[in-house]
Amino acid sequence: MAPAADGKVTGLLAATFTPFTAQGEVNLSVIGPYVDYLKEKQGVKGIFVNGTTGESMSLSVAERKVLAEEWCLKAKGKMDSTIVHVGCMSLKDSQDLARHAAEIGADGIAVISPSFFKPKSAHALRRFLQEVALAAPNLPFYYYTIPAFTGVNVPVRDVIEDIEKLIPTFRGVKFSGSDLLDFGQCVSYSQPHWSVLYGVDEQLLAALAMGANGAVGSTYNYMGCYVNQLISAFETGDLVTARTIQFKIQELVGYAIKLGFDIGVNKQLMMEVSGLPLGPPRLPVMPCPPNHSKLIIQKYHSIFD
């Protein structure tokens, strides 16, 4: 899963958190050290910014722009790929962000389905995606599905049917769902220059077996180094080792879920592990309660140290 010469995205991408100040404003100063941390300590080769982990839906368009710009700037020469998520509830906003992503030199854009008004068919969703893609006609385009958040259950396989006729820049999918029938059908249909990236970190091994080209997830912010080992083990056919690492990740995630695993808990864990000052989440996400913070970091160390 070495980076492909043609820019095909493979391997591990971290879905980055958005740093805020204590007052809740975006904190650009953390982004440089954040990129270095991911590269040096976690061995992560790409980033997926302003996505779900980045609380993009809680950001204004202006905030998303300055963040995207800083991520692209600081990642330049350090990350193999910086994908900027530009999906919004509003098509206008998404188009605005897509144009901006092109201007600032993003390596690609990703778009989630709108979820307040849910597309009623694959056709409606494809039309929405097409209109966004047209605003950045030279950028690789990725469709991002995460049904647990959006409630949109259009099979991805239906979305990508002959998709390059509609979106010539289409290059793949960030698939953050647990329907591996749909996932497998996407892998099977995938073109050689596409990337099918998996996004449910706690079952990555399953997706690798089904043919995933890489992975994008929030836990790679602080467990990327272990997951790189998982991927290496998988690639050399050592399923026992791969499984052992996967089960450790599952132990942590399973524990976190019992605590109420949301962006607040997730971000806190990243702060504890990395030492980066990421600040609180933004409402309606609540900060991680201090006792949960203590428990989750203890669990992390008990598993990985």
**Residues found near a second copy in the complex (CB under 8 A):** 55, 57-61, 63, 89-93, 96, 113-121, 123-125, 127-128, 131, 149-151, 157, 178-181, 184-185, 187-188, 200, 202-203, 205-211, 237, 239, 242-243, 246-247, 250-251, 253-254, 257, 260, 262-263, 282-286
User: Which CB, 40 or 209, lies closer to a second copy?
Assistant: 209
DSSP-derived secondary structure letter, 239: H
**C-alpha to C-alpha distances, 48 to 64, 168, 250, 252, nearest whole angstrom:** 13, 21, 22, 22
Active-site residue among 65, 174, 226, 267? Answer: 174
Q: How far is the CB of 78 from a second copy (least distance, A)?
A: 29
To the query of whether residue 144 is one of the catalytic residues in this protein, the response is yes
Question: Least distance from C-beta 254 to a second copy, angstroms?
Answer: 6
Q: Could you tell me the smallest distance in angstroms from the CB atom of residue 241 to a second copy?
A: 12
Residue in this structure with the two tokens 């710009």, named with its chain if needed: 69
Q: Least CB distance from residue 291 to a second copy, whole Å? A: 16
For residues 224 and 38, is the Cβ–Cβ distance under 8 A? yes
Question: Which of 38, 186 has the CB closer to a second copy?
Answer: 186
Q: Please enumerate in sequence order all residues whose Cβ is within 8 A of that of 162, keeping only pairs 6 or more positions apart, or say none.
A: none
Q: Confirm whether residue 145 is marked as ligand binding.
A: no
Distances (CA, A) of 253 to 32, 263, 266, 288: 28, 13, 10, 15
Q: Report CA 9 to chain centroid distance, whole Å.
A: 13
What is d(CA 19, CA 56) in angstroms, rounded to the nearest whole number?
A: 12
Single out the residue of 183, 186, 121, 187 nearest to residue 154, CA to CA: 121
The amino acid present at 184, given as its one-letter code, is G
* Residue 174 annotated as catalytic: yes
Find out whether 285 is annotated in a ligand binding site. no
Nearer CB in complex with a second copy: 120/165: 120
* Active site amino acids: 144, 174
Binding site listing for pyruvate: 53, 216
